[in-house]
Amino acid sequence: MARQCCTIVFPAALVLLLLGSADAQLEVGFYRKSCPNAEAIVRAEISRVMTVAPTLGGPLLRFFFHDCFVRGCDASILLNATDSSNPAEKDAIPNSFLRGYKVIDTIKANLEKACPSTVSCADVLALIARDVVSLAKGPYWEVPTGRRDGRVSIMSEALNMLPGFTANISSLKSQFAAQGLSVKDLVVLSGAHTLGNAHCFTVTNRIYNFSGRGDNTDTDPALDKRYVPKLRGKCSPLPADAIKLIEMDPGSFLSFDNSYFTLVSKRRGLFESDAVLLDDSETRAYVLRQANAPPTEFFEDFGVSMVNMGNIGVLTGSQGEIRKQCALRN
Ligand SMILES: *[C@@H]1O[C@H](CO)[C@@H](O)[C@H](O)[C@H]1NC(C)=O
Ligand SMILES: *[C@@H]1O[C@H](CO)[C@@H](O)[C@H](O)[C@H]1NC(C)=O
Ligand SMILES: *[C@@H]1O[C@H](CO)[C@@H](O)[C@H](O)[C@H]1NC(C)=O
Protein backbone atom coordinates (compact mmCIF):
# COMPACT_ATOMS: atom_id res chain seq x y z
CA MET A 1 0.00 0.00 0.00
CA ALA A 2 2.69 2.48 1.01
CA ARG A 3 4.55 1.90 -2.24
CA GLN A 4 1.41 2.44 -4.20
CA CYS A 5 0.73 5.70 -2.44
CA CYS A 6 4.14 7.08 -3.19
CA THR A 7 4.50 6.16 -6.79
CA ILE A 8 1.26 8.04 -7.37
CA VAL A 9 2.16 11.07 -5.27
CA PHE A 10 5.63 11.53 -6.70
CA PRO A 11 4.76 12.39 -10.32
CA ALA A 12 2.07 14.78 -9.09
CA ALA A 13 4.68 16.67 -7.07
CA LEU A 14 6.92 16.81 -10.10
CA VAL A 15 4.12 18.23 -12.25
CA LEU A 16 3.83 21.21 -9.93
CA LEU A 17 7.55 21.78 -10.17
CA LEU A 18 7.38 21.69 -13.93
CA LEU A 19 4.43 24.03 -14.17
CA GLY A 20 6.32 26.41 -11.88
CA SER A 21 9.01 26.85 -14.50
CA ALA A 22 6.75 26.87 -17.53
CA ASP A 23 7.51 30.48 -18.44
CA ALA A 24 11.24 29.92 -18.54
CA GLN A 25 13.07 32.35 -20.80
CA LEU A 26 14.53 30.37 -23.61
CA GLU A 27 15.14 32.31 -26.78
CA VAL A 28 16.14 31.58 -30.33
CA GLY A 29 19.74 32.66 -30.81
CA PHE A 30 20.60 32.76 -27.09
CA TYR A 31 24.31 32.27 -27.95
CA ARG A 32 24.37 34.92 -30.70
CA LYS A 33 26.82 37.08 -28.75
CA SER A 34 28.40 34.66 -26.29
CA CYS A 35 29.19 31.91 -28.81
CA PRO A 36 28.20 32.95 -32.32
CA ASN A 37 29.29 29.65 -33.89
CA ALA A 38 27.58 27.42 -31.34
CA GLU A 39 24.83 26.16 -33.63
CA ALA A 40 27.20 25.80 -36.58
CA ILE A 41 29.59 23.72 -34.46
CA VAL A 42 26.82 21.31 -33.51
CA ARG A 43 25.54 21.09 -37.05
CA ALA A 44 28.97 20.46 -38.57
CA GLU A 45 29.55 17.39 -36.42
CA ILE A 46 26.02 16.02 -36.86
CA SER A 47 26.35 16.54 -40.59
CA ARG A 48 29.60 14.55 -40.55
CA VAL A 49 28.08 11.77 -38.42
CA MET A 50 24.96 11.50 -40.55
CA THR A 51 27.22 10.88 -43.52
CA VAL A 52 29.51 8.27 -41.99
CA ALA A 53 27.10 6.63 -39.52
CA PRO A 54 23.53 7.46 -40.52
CA THR A 55 22.03 4.83 -38.20
CA LEU A 56 23.10 7.02 -35.28
CA GLY A 57 20.42 9.52 -36.30
CA GLY A 58 17.62 7.68 -34.52
CA PRO A 59 19.43 7.24 -31.21
CA LEU A 60 20.77 10.81 -31.28
CA LEU A 61 17.24 12.13 -31.78
CA ARG A 62 15.96 9.94 -28.93
CA PHE A 63 18.33 11.54 -26.40
CA PHE A 64 16.32 14.74 -26.28
CA PHE A 65 13.04 12.97 -25.54
CA HIS A 66 14.64 10.70 -22.94
CA ASP A 67 16.24 13.73 -21.32
CA CYS A 68 13.23 16.05 -21.29
CA PHE A 69 10.80 13.53 -19.82
CA VAL A 70 12.94 13.02 -16.75
CA ARG A 71 13.61 16.14 -14.63
CA GLY A 72 13.14 18.35 -17.66
CA CYS A 73 15.54 19.15 -20.49
CA ASP A 74 18.61 19.52 -18.30
CA ALA A 75 20.96 16.90 -19.77
CA SER A 76 20.49 14.73 -16.67
CA ILE A 77 20.44 11.79 -19.10
CA LEU A 78 24.14 12.41 -19.77
CA LEU A 79 25.42 12.40 -16.19
CA ASN A 80 27.44 9.43 -15.04
CA ALA A 81 26.54 7.84 -11.73
CA THR A 82 28.61 9.23 -8.87
CA ASP A 83 29.01 5.70 -7.49
CA SER A 84 27.48 2.29 -8.06
CA SER A 85 24.99 2.67 -5.21
CA ASN A 86 23.46 5.75 -6.90
CA PRO A 87 22.72 4.70 -10.47
CA ALA A 88 21.91 7.52 -12.87
CA GLU A 89 19.21 7.96 -15.52
CA LYS A 90 21.50 6.51 -18.17
CA ASP A 91 21.69 3.28 -16.18
CA ALA A 92 17.92 2.71 -16.40
CA ILE A 93 16.93 -0.05 -18.80
CA PRO A 94 14.89 2.18 -21.15
CA ASN A 95 18.02 4.31 -21.57
CA SER A 96 20.57 1.55 -21.69
CA PHE A 97 20.32 1.17 -25.45
CA LEU A 98 20.90 4.82 -26.31
CA ARG A 99 23.98 5.23 -28.50
CA GLY A 100 26.00 8.21 -29.57
CA TYR A 101 27.48 9.47 -26.31
CA LYS A 102 30.82 9.91 -28.08
CA VAL A 103 29.24 12.18 -30.68
CA ILE A 104 27.83 14.35 -27.91
CA ASP A 105 31.21 14.44 -26.15
CA THR A 106 32.96 15.47 -29.37
CA ILE A 107 30.49 18.28 -29.97
CA LYS A 108 30.82 19.47 -26.41
CA ALA A 109 34.62 19.41 -26.63
CA ASN A 110 34.47 21.48 -29.83
CA LEU A 111 32.17 23.96 -28.12
CA GLU A 112 34.45 24.21 -25.09
CA LYS A 113 37.36 25.01 -27.41
CA ALA A 114 35.41 27.79 -29.11
CA CYS A 115 33.65 29.21 -26.05
CA PRO A 116 34.58 27.67 -22.70
CA SER A 117 31.81 27.09 -20.15
CA THR A 118 29.18 28.77 -22.28
CA VAL A 119 26.96 26.30 -24.12
CA SER A 120 24.98 23.84 -22.00
CA CYS A 121 24.79 20.12 -22.66
CA ALA A 122 21.01 20.49 -22.44
CA ASP A 123 21.05 22.87 -25.42
CA VAL A 124 23.43 20.57 -27.27
CA LEU A 125 20.80 17.81 -27.08
CA ALA A 126 18.09 20.18 -28.33
CA LEU A 127 20.21 21.29 -31.29
CA ILE A 128 21.31 17.75 -32.12
CA ALA A 129 17.67 16.64 -32.32
CA ARG A 130 16.82 19.42 -34.77
CA ASP A 131 19.91 18.83 -36.89
CA VAL A 132 19.40 15.08 -37.08
CA VAL A 133 15.83 15.53 -38.27
CA SER A 134 16.58 18.20 -40.83
CA LEU A 135 19.64 16.35 -42.17
CA ALA A 136 17.49 13.22 -42.52
CA LYS A 137 15.28 15.17 -44.95
CA GLY A 138 12.81 16.18 -42.28
CA PRO A 139 11.73 19.66 -41.18
CA TYR A 140 13.98 22.41 -39.85
CA TRP A 141 12.86 24.56 -36.95
CA GLU A 142 14.39 27.31 -34.84
CA VAL A 143 15.48 25.96 -31.47
CA PRO A 144 15.03 28.24 -28.47
CA THR A 145 18.16 27.93 -26.31
CA GLY A 146 19.43 29.12 -22.96
CA ARG A 147 18.90 25.93 -20.96
CA ARG A 148 21.31 25.15 -18.17
CA ASP A 149 22.50 21.78 -17.00
CA GLY A 150 21.15 19.96 -13.98
CA ARG A 151 23.24 18.36 -11.27
CA VAL A 152 20.95 15.46 -10.38
CA SER A 153 20.35 12.20 -12.21
CA ILE A 154 18.47 9.31 -10.63
CA MET A 155 17.81 5.98 -12.29
CA SER A 156 14.41 5.39 -10.70
CA GLU A 157 13.04 8.66 -12.09
CA ALA A 158 13.80 7.47 -15.61
CA LEU A 159 11.96 4.22 -14.89
CA ASN A 160 8.91 6.14 -13.63
CA MET A 161 8.67 8.90 -16.19
CA LEU A 162 9.60 7.42 -19.56
CA PRO A 163 6.63 6.03 -21.47
CA GLY A 164 7.17 2.35 -22.18
CA PHE A 165 6.85 0.58 -25.52
CA THR A 166 3.89 -1.44 -24.17
CA ALA A 167 2.04 1.61 -22.79
CA ASN A 168 -1.68 1.90 -23.52
CA ILE A 169 -3.22 5.10 -24.79
CA SER A 170 -4.48 6.30 -21.40
CA SER A 171 -1.01 5.90 -19.86
CA LEU A 172 0.58 7.69 -22.78
CA LYS A 173 -1.89 10.54 -22.57
CA SER A 174 -1.41 10.98 -18.85
CA GLN A 175 2.38 10.74 -19.09
CA PHE A 176 2.42 13.46 -21.73
CA ALA A 177 -0.10 15.56 -19.80
CA ALA A 178 2.13 15.27 -16.73
CA GLN A 179 4.84 17.02 -18.77
CA GLY A 180 2.48 19.75 -19.94
CA LEU A 181 2.23 18.19 -23.40
CA SER A 182 -1.00 17.75 -25.32
CA VAL A 183 -2.57 14.75 -27.00
CA LYS A 184 -1.52 16.32 -30.27
CA ASP A 185 2.09 16.51 -29.07
CA LEU A 186 1.82 12.81 -28.23
CA VAL A 187 0.79 11.72 -31.69
CA VAL A 188 3.09 14.17 -33.46
CA LEU A 189 6.16 13.22 -31.43
CA SER A 190 5.39 9.52 -31.92
CA GLY A 191 6.17 10.29 -35.56
CA ALA A 192 9.83 10.34 -34.53
CA HIS A 193 9.60 6.56 -34.85
CA THR A 194 10.01 7.18 -38.55
CA LEU A 195 13.74 7.23 -37.81
CA GLY A 196 15.92 4.42 -36.58
CA ASN A 197 15.85 0.91 -35.20
CA ALA A 198 14.33 -0.83 -32.23
CA HIS A 199 15.36 -4.09 -30.61
CA CYS A 200 13.51 -7.31 -31.27
CA PHE A 201 12.47 -7.71 -27.63
CA THR A 202 10.13 -4.76 -28.08
CA VAL A 203 7.99 -6.76 -30.49
CA THR A 204 8.67 -10.43 -29.65
CA ASN A 205 5.70 -10.82 -27.35
CA ARG A 206 3.39 -9.28 -29.91
CA ILE A 207 4.30 -11.86 -32.53
CA TYR A 208 4.88 -15.02 -30.46
CA ASN A 209 3.36 -14.82 -27.01
CA PHE A 210 0.97 -11.95 -26.57
CA SER A 211 -1.34 -13.45 -23.96
CA GLY A 212 1.17 -15.89 -22.46
CA ARG A 213 -0.14 -19.02 -24.24
CA GLY A 214 2.88 -18.98 -26.54
CA ASP A 215 1.21 -21.05 -29.28
CA ASN A 216 1.42 -20.21 -32.96
CA THR A 217 -1.70 -18.03 -32.91
CA ASP A 218 -0.81 -16.00 -29.84
CA THR A 219 -0.28 -12.68 -31.59
CA ASP A 220 -1.40 -9.18 -30.70
CA PRO A 221 -4.85 -8.66 -32.23
CA ALA A 222 -3.90 -5.02 -32.79
CA LEU A 223 -1.27 -6.16 -35.30
CA ASP A 224 -2.08 -6.87 -38.95
CA LYS A 225 -2.08 -10.69 -39.15
CA ARG A 226 -0.51 -10.57 -42.61
CA TYR A 227 2.40 -8.60 -41.20
CA VAL A 228 3.24 -11.11 -38.47
CA PRO A 229 5.22 -13.52 -40.70
CA LYS A 230 7.39 -10.61 -41.87
CA LEU A 231 8.19 -9.65 -38.31
CA ARG A 232 8.79 -13.27 -37.34
CA GLY A 233 11.28 -13.49 -40.19
CA LYS A 234 13.25 -10.69 -38.58
CA CYS A 235 12.95 -11.62 -34.92
CA SER A 236 13.02 -15.17 -33.60
CA PRO A 237 11.49 -16.00 -30.22
CA LEU A 238 13.15 -14.85 -27.03
CA PRO A 239 15.83 -14.93 -25.96
CA ALA A 240 17.60 -15.57 -29.29
CA ASP A 241 17.23 -12.22 -31.04
CA ALA A 242 16.39 -10.07 -28.02
CA ILE A 243 18.74 -7.25 -28.88
CA LYS A 244 18.88 -7.72 -32.63
CA LEU A 245 17.95 -4.51 -34.43
CA ILE A 246 14.75 -4.13 -36.41
CA GLU A 247 13.80 -1.08 -38.46
CA MET A 248 10.91 0.86 -36.97
CA ASP A 249 9.86 2.27 -40.33
CA PRO A 250 11.02 -0.45 -42.74
CA GLY A 251 12.16 0.84 -46.10
CA SER A 252 12.75 4.41 -44.99
CA PHE A 253 14.22 4.15 -41.50
CA LEU A 254 16.99 6.58 -42.38
CA SER A 255 14.74 9.33 -43.65
CA PHE A 256 12.40 11.48 -41.66
CA ASP A 257 9.04 11.27 -43.40
CA ASN A 258 5.43 10.51 -42.55
CA SER A 259 5.48 6.85 -43.53
CA TYR A 260 5.31 5.99 -39.82
CA PHE A 261 1.70 7.13 -39.90
CA THR A 262 1.00 5.02 -42.96
CA LEU A 263 2.35 1.99 -41.11
CA VAL A 264 0.38 2.67 -37.95
CA SER A 265 -2.79 3.23 -39.96
CA LYS A 266 -2.31 -0.23 -41.49
CA ARG A 267 -1.84 -1.72 -38.01
CA ARG A 268 1.83 -2.27 -38.73
CA GLY A 269 3.39 -0.03 -36.10
CA LEU A 270 6.14 -1.88 -34.28
CA PHE A 271 5.34 -1.09 -30.65
CA GLU A 272 2.11 -1.56 -28.76
CA SER A 273 2.53 2.13 -27.92
CA ASP A 274 2.36 2.85 -31.67
CA ALA A 275 -0.69 0.67 -32.24
CA VAL A 276 -2.66 2.32 -29.44
CA LEU A 277 -2.62 5.63 -31.31
CA LEU A 278 -5.63 4.13 -33.10
CA ASP A 279 -7.49 3.76 -29.77
CA ASP A 280 -8.20 7.44 -29.16
CA SER A 281 -10.34 9.53 -31.49
CA GLU A 282 -7.95 12.48 -31.64
CA THR A 283 -4.72 10.51 -32.15
CA ARG A 284 -6.49 8.17 -34.56
CA ALA A 285 -7.76 11.04 -36.69
CA TYR A 286 -4.25 12.48 -36.87
CA VAL A 287 -2.69 9.15 -37.83
CA LEU A 288 -5.25 8.55 -40.56
CA ARG A 289 -4.93 12.07 -41.93
CA GLN A 290 -1.12 11.91 -42.14
CA ALA A 291 -1.16 8.40 -43.57
CA ASN A 292 -2.34 9.64 -46.93
CA ALA A 293 -1.04 13.17 -47.02
CA PRO A 294 2.13 14.92 -48.06
CA PRO A 295 4.28 15.49 -44.96
CA THR A 296 3.66 19.24 -44.90
CA GLU A 297 1.35 19.32 -41.88
CA PHE A 298 3.34 16.74 -39.91
CA PHE A 299 6.60 18.56 -40.57
CA GLU A 300 5.20 21.83 -39.34
CA ASP A 301 3.64 20.16 -36.30
CA PHE A 302 6.81 18.29 -35.47
CA GLY A 303 8.88 21.44 -35.03
CA VAL A 304 6.17 22.97 -32.84
CA SER A 305 5.92 19.87 -30.65
CA MET A 306 9.69 19.60 -30.33
CA VAL A 307 9.81 23.20 -29.12
CA ASN A 308 7.00 22.41 -26.66
CA MET A 309 8.88 19.39 -25.39
CA GLY A 310 12.06 21.44 -25.17
CA ASN A 311 10.40 23.71 -22.61
CA ILE A 312 9.82 20.95 -20.08
CA GLY A 313 11.30 21.78 -16.69
CA VAL A 314 14.16 23.83 -18.08
CA LEU A 315 16.73 25.50 -15.85
CA THR A 316 17.58 29.07 -16.89
CA GLY A 317 19.31 32.18 -15.58
CA SER A 318 21.48 31.25 -12.63
CA GLN A 319 19.88 27.83 -12.08
CA GLY A 320 21.99 24.72 -12.57
CA GLU A 321 25.33 25.13 -14.29
CA ILE A 322 27.11 24.90 -17.62
CA ARG A 323 28.93 21.58 -17.46
CA LYS A 324 32.43 21.37 -18.85
CA GLN A 325 31.97 17.69 -19.66
CA CYS A 326 28.48 16.39 -20.26
CA ALA A 327 29.01 13.22 -18.20
CA LEU A 328 30.26 15.07 -15.12
CA ARG A 329 29.02 17.71 -12.74
CA ASN A 330 31.52 20.58 -12.50
C1 LIG B 1 31.15 8.04 -17.95
O2 LIG B 1 30.84 6.66 -17.88
C3 LIG B 1 31.19 5.94 -19.06
C4 LIG B 1 30.65 4.54 -18.92
O5 LIG B 1 30.93 4.02 -17.68
C6 LIG B 1 32.68 6.00 -19.26
O7 LIG B 1 33.05 5.28 -20.42
C8 LIG B 1 33.11 7.44 -19.38
O9 LIG B 1 34.50 7.53 -19.47
C10 LIG B 1 32.62 8.26 -18.18
N11 LIG B 1 32.87 9.65 -18.48
C12 LIG B 1 33.64 10.41 -17.74
C13 LIG B 1 33.88 11.79 -18.24
O14 LIG B 1 34.14 10.04 -16.68
C1 LIG C 1 -3.32 1.21 -18.99
O2 LIG C 1 -2.11 0.93 -18.35
C3 LIG C 1 -2.10 1.30 -16.98
C4 LIG C 1 -0.68 1.13 -16.47
O5 LIG C 1 -0.15 -0.10 -16.84
C6 LIG C 1 -3.12 0.46 -16.24
O7 LIG C 1 -3.12 0.82 -14.89
C8 LIG C 1 -4.49 0.72 -16.84
O9 LIG C 1 -5.45 -0.11 -16.23
C10 LIG C 1 -4.48 0.47 -18.34
N11 LIG C 1 -5.74 0.97 -18.89
C12 LIG C 1 -6.47 0.27 -19.72
C13 LIG C 1 -7.70 0.93 -20.22
O14 LIG C 1 -6.16 -0.84 -20.07
C1 LIG D 1 4.97 -16.89 -22.85
O2 LIG D 1 4.72 -15.98 -21.77
C3 LIG D 1 4.47 -16.64 -20.57
C4 LIG D 1 3.98 -15.61 -19.56
O5 LIG D 1 4.64 -14.40 -19.70
C6 LIG D 1 5.73 -17.36 -20.14
O7 LIG D 1 5.53 -18.00 -18.90
C8 LIG D 1 6.10 -18.39 -21.20
O9 LIG D 1 7.32 -19.00 -20.88
C10 LIG D 1 6.20 -17.74 -22.58
N11 LIG D 1 6.28 -18.77 -23.59
C12 LIG D 1 7.17 -18.73 -24.56
C13 LIG D 1 7.13 -19.84 -25.56
O14 LIG D 1 8.02 -17.84 -24.64
Q: 306 CA distance to ligand 1 centroid (A)? A: 28
The whole-number pLDDT of residue 24 equals 57
Ligand 2: residue of 165, 171, 172, 273 to mutate (most ligand atoms within 8 A of CB) is 171
* Residue 100 near residue 63 (C-beta atoms within 8 A): yes
Q: 131 CA distance to ligand 1 centroid (A)? A: 25
Ligand nearest to the CA of 82: 1
The whole-number pLDDT of residue 20 equals 43
> Nearest 5°: phi and psi at 245?
-85, 145
21 in contact with ligand 1, CB cutoff 6 A: no
Please give the positions annotated as active site.
Answer: 66
229 in contact with ligand 3, CB cutoff 6 A: no
Residue 196 region by backbone torsions, left for phi larger than 0, else alpha for psi between -120 and 50, else beta:
left
pLDDT tens per residue, the chain (330 residues)?
333 333 333 344 444 444 444 455 899 999 999 999 999 999 999 999 999 999 999 999 999 999 999 999 999 999 999 999 999 999 999 998 899 999 999 999 999 999 999 999 999 999 999 999 999 999 999 999 999 999 999 999 999 999 999 999 999 999 999 999 999 999 999 999 999 899 999 999 999 999 999 899 999 999 999 999 999 999 999 888 998 999 988 888 899 999 999 999 999 999 999 999 999 999 999 999 999 999 999 999 999 999 999 999 999 999 999 999 999 999
- CATH 1.10.520.10 for domain 12-162, yes or no, is yes
* Closest by CA position to 131, among listed 51, 61, 30, 31: 61
* Residue 158 near residue 70 (C-beta atoms within 8 A): yes
The whole-number pLDDT of residue 62 equals 96
Q: Rg of the Cα trace of the chain?
A: 20
What's the CA gap between 52 and 79, in Å, rounded? 26
* Closest by CA position to 77, among listed 179, 160, 172, 152: 152
> Nearest 5°: phi and psi at 145?
-125, 180
The whole-number pLDDT of residue 17 equals 46
Alpha carbon 113 to its chain's center: 28
| Domain ranges across the chain | 12-162, 188-300
The whole-number pLDDT of residue 12 equals 40
Q: Whose CA is nearest to atom 6 of ligand 3?
A: 212
CATH domain 188-300 topology: Peroxidase; domain 2 (1.10.420)
